[in-house]
């Protein structure tokens, strides 16, 4: 039931921007009050933006925009309770004013409430003062009805303007929140489509954006989303907990070693080494992984390596890292090395020297910024193809050691079974070998990996990171 006094108070406050609900003009003359302070455009630093949280922890957050009717919200909250998910709800101020009991129920069940603007209007069409009051009035309504002061603001679409960021900063809010996992349930997708999308793009530090007022299929999608997280050991936490447990990424230029790879076209006389394996009397071998995959695939690989206490070397396709930097950081936090496998995964002999060097520099910078430290200074050419000229070009930018391999099973081809992979590794591996595997989705490497590790250990082999094996052999 609408609490008229609260709703009226909110509406009276909006008259200064001539907006009522969806934009009606207020024709009646309001009672005379003290002159309202004019809101001027803030000139300080804009609020930060959070599309995801920088963390290697197996955590992400489920967020909802809008507030449905009592029946829909009860069903949604019951389903979240059933799967022990604590979520963050971005609520429109007008809906909180209309049905504050629902907002209070959200809080009582352990969820968070944040600001979804007063009327969910298009911020691109509003002036600064209107933007400011859409945020301000929502904060006031939520505070009055629940006792909670929102810290985060999200617009209806998740998009934001400079005015939104400035107004949020002026109001002392912590951040403007968007998302990096959006199943677009507003398009009235079925529950399975919503669940499949989240499973495909699930990631550490991810912010999933759903709507609580449009598509009832969101409710039956909750079990599917919960199962997707459980399958890889991920936990849903509130946005504030995700932020609290996460970290701040330093700008690239503040990270030592960010400029260790530079364009240098004076490459004609550069020296390089192609390292296929290492000559050693020790039973050491290096396990390496190329390319990139989904969080689900790579996390399973990391979990297997952790179970067997194996440290590996990951050669990363940086274009993938760019979309999920937390996954690269998780590799480092797991004690592994990460190194350069190019940005766009080209066959290096098809590029000009200038194109190749720019690709390698970009890849180095992306990886460096993702892991917040200098990567291991090895480069592996995609497909393993390199010639003498390109070897010199690669050396000139800073990679004097080009990491090749002597054990490959073509595991990137899904036609090769787990048994094929295991047999190939066991037949080829010897002291000082460098084993090449891949972290692509929908191949059989994950099935083969535990067997490979156990079988090689039974033969007395010890796993070391590739750079360490090279260093010990010098």
Query: Considering only CA atoms, which of 444, 349, 443 is closest in space to residue 387?
Result: 349
Nearest 5°: the CA angle 190, 196, 200 is 150
Low-confidence ranges of the chain (pLDDT < 70): 1-37, 474
Whether residues 259 and 203 share a domain: the answer is no
Are 263 and 397 in contact by the 8 Å Cβ rule? The answer is yes
357 and 397 housed in the same domain: yes
Assess whether 377 and 324 both reside in one domain. yes
- Residue 474 is predicted with a pLDDT of 67
Same domain flag for 278 and 353: yes
* pLDDT (0 to 100) of residue 467: 97
Residue 127 sits in the same domain as residue 155: yes
**pLDDT on residue 472:** 87
Query: Does 319 map to a domain?
Result: yes
Count of CB atoms within 10 A of residue 25's CB?
Answer: 8
> Does residue 432 contact residue 277 with C-beta atoms inside 8 Å?
yes
**Does residue 34 lie within any of the structural domains?**
no
Confidence (pLDDT) at 26: 40
Q: Are residues 152 and 261 in the same domain?
A: no
Is residue 33 one of the residues assigned to a domain?
no
Whether residue 71 lies inside any domain: the answer is yes
The CATH code of the domain that includes 15 is: 3.20.20.370
The answer to whether residues 167 and 288 belong to one domain is no
Q: Are 192 and 284 members of one domain?
A: no
The answer on 136 and 87 residing in a single domain is yes
Residues 6+ apart with CB under 8 A from 231: 199, 296
- Residues 345 and 239 placed together within one structural domain of the fold: no
Instruction: Decide which of 185, 218, 245 is a domain's last residue.
Output: 245
* 3-state class (DSSP) for residue 205: coil
Q: Which pLDDT belongs to residue 473?
A: 78
Residue with tokens 């859409």: 134
Q: Is the pTM of this model over 0.85?
A: yes
> Could you identify the residue written with the tokens 């979309």?
323
Q: 295 and 232 in one domain?
A: no
The alpha-helical segments, DSSP class H, found in 182-317 are 191-201, 218-231, 239-245, 295-307
Question: Do the domain assignments include residue 28?
Answer: no
Residue 316 counted as domain residue: yes
Boundary of a domain, candidates 245, 273, 307: 245
- What is the dihedral sign for C-alpha 45, 50, 54, 55? positive
Contact 203, 60 (CB under 8 A): yes
Establish if 163 belongs to a structural domain.
yes
Q: How many domains are there within the chain?
A: 2
Q: Are residues 183 and 48 in the same domain?
A: yes
Instruction: Give the number of other Cβ atoms within 10 Å of residue 77's Cβ.
Output: 21
Q: Is 30 within a domain?
A: no
Domain residue limits at 343: 253-473
């Amino acid at each position: 039931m609408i609490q008229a006094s609260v709703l009226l108070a909110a509406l009276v406050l909006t008259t200064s921007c001539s907006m009522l609900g969806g934009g009606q003009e207020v024709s009646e003359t309001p009672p005379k009050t003290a002159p309202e302070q004019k809101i001027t455009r803030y000139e300080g630093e804009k609020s930060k933006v959070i599309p995801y949280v920088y963390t290697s922890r197996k955590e992400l957050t489920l967020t909802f925009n809008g507030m449905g009717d009592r029946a829909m919200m009860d069903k949604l909250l019951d389903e979240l309770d059933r799967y022990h998910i604590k979520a963050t709800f971005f609520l429109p101020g007008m809906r909180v004013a209309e049905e504050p009991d629902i907002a209070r129920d959200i809080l009582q069940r352990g969820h968070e409430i944040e600001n979804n603007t007063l009327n969910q209007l298009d911020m691109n069409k509003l002036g600064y003062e209107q933007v400011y009051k859409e945020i301000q009035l929502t904060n006031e309504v939520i505070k009055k009805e629940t006792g909670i002061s929102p810290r985060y603001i999200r617009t209806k679409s998740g998009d934001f303007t400079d005015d939104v960021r400035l107004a949020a900063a002026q109001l002392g809010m912590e951040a403007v929140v968007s998302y990096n996992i959006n199943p677009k349930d507003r398009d009235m997708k079925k529950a399975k489509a919503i669940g499949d999308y989240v499973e495909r793009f699930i990631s550490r530090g991810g912010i999933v954006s759903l709507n609580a007022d449009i598509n009832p299929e969101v409710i039956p999608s909750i079990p599917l989303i919960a199962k997707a997280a459980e399958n890889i050991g991920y936990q849903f936490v509130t946005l504030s907990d995700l932020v609290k447990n996460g970290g701040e990424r330093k700008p690239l230029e503040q990270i030592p070693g960010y400029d260790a790879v530079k364009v240098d076209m004076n490459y004609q006389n550069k020296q390089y080494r192609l390292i296929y394996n290492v000559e050693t009397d020790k039973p050491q071998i290096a396990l390496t992984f190329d390319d990139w995959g989904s969080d689900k695939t790579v996390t399973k690989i990391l979990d297997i390596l952790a179970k067997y206490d194996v440290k590996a070397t990951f050669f990363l396709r940086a274009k993938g890292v760019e979309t999920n930097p937390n996954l690269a950081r998780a590799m480092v936090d797991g004690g592994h090395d990460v190194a350069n496998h190019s940005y766009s995964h080209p066959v290096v002999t098809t590029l000009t020297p200038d194109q190749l060097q720019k690709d390698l520099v970009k890849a180095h910078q992306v990886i460096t910024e993702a892991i917040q430290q200098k990567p291991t200074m090895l480069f592996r050419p995609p497909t393993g193809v390199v010639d003498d000229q390109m070897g010199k070009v690669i050396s000139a930018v800073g990679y004097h050691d080009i990491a090749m391999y002597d054990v490959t099973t073509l595991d990137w081809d899904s036609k090769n079974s787990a048994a094929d992979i295991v047999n190939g590794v066991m037949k080829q591996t010897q002291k000082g070998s460098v084993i090449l595997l891949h972290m692509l989705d929908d191949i059989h490497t994950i099935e083969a990996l535990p067997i490979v590790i156990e079988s090689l250990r039974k033969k007395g082999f010890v796993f070391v990171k590739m750079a360490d094996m090279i260093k010990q052999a010098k």
